[in-house]
Structure 1
Amino acid sequence: MPAPAAPYLIDLAKLGAPDIGYISVAEGWPGAVPFAVKRVFWTYYTPESIVRGRHAHHRTEQVLVAVAGRITVTTEQADGLIQTVRLEDPRTGLYVPPHTWHTMQYSHSAVQLVLASQPYDAADYIRDYDEFRAVWRARAGGGGG
């Protein structure tokens, strides 16, 4: 079984100039986004004390973008590798592959744009951390852990 993809930063196009403003573009594959976008949603006005996410997906790939404010994203992979990324530039996205546990914490002014590879499906979510670890152990062919 091939090694699962790891989260990574994506540089989105920045077109424009200081005197007229900018536009960033995230076009489907082959482009900045490594999948066809089938769902777009955004979060905003999230209190700074709230941690969102706390889940993984079986199939869905995502790119997270802080179009305003600051978002601190923590990801965990099956091998236990934990990464923390601070998104605060609207031309930078974070690719989050399937089977990656992730949490987000926001500045109050943050607006997060999410590009997703799949339409919403409640069955695609792994919301229990112990279940997430069990899914990875089974996928890796391992036992305890």
Structure 2
Amino acid sequence: MNTPHLVEIRNHLDARGALGVIEGADLPFDIRRLYYLFDVPIGSVRGEHGHKRLQQLILCLHGKVDITLNDGRSRWPFTLDRATQGLYVPPGMWRSLEFRDPGTVVCVLASRPYEVEDYIYHFEDFLAWVQAGRPLPEDQP
């Protein structure tokens, strides 16, 4: 599925607590990078950029974050506020994350290592990229 969507995370609960599980077969991509955001002030916005190739699974491990995705034609608003649900973000999406609760921790599983050429930092440039048919550099698959 090449549209953003929520993903339920398998979890196991017993008297000792909860355990969330994500395995490679659960994702439409191989995990090449993991990063996380924390100590972000309430109301702060992170992200605000697009990716040409990168796929992500965004998890809110603690707290609450509002996420808006945009492919240049449609917008998708999501709220993540439990560790048993993630948001799949396909390539070609502009994203914005607004932190809503103190102590919110967001973890991102990514399909590619950090590649500066994959980022689009200005929304007008992102829209132009979409209008141009989402061209990619010749030397990268």
TM-score, normalised by the number of residues in structure 1: 0.87
Please state how far the C-alpha of 1:78 moved relative to its aligned partner: 2.6
The 4+ residue runs of structure 1 with deviation greater than 2 A are none
Q: Deviations over 1:103-126 (max 9, x none)?
A: 001122100010000001111101
Contact 2:52 2:134 in 1 (8 A): no
Task: Tell me the equivalent position of 2:35.
Answer: 41
1:1-145 equivalence runs, <5 A: 5-17=2-14, 19-28=15-24, 30-31=25-26, 33-79=27-73, 81-106=74-99, 107-139=101-133
* Percent of residue pairs identical: 30
Q: Distance in 1 between matches of 2:115 and 2:56?
A: 14
Q: How many residues align?
A: 134
1:16 Cα offset (Å): 2.3
Mark the runs of 5 or more structure 1 residues left unpaired by the alignment: none
SS at match of 1:48: coil
Native 8 Å contact 1:6 1:77 kept in 2: no
Q: How big is the alpha-carbon RMSD for the aligned residues of Structure 1 and Structure 2?
A: 1.6
TM-score by length of 2: 0.90
Task: List runs of 5+ in structure 2 lacking aligned partners.
Answer: 136-141
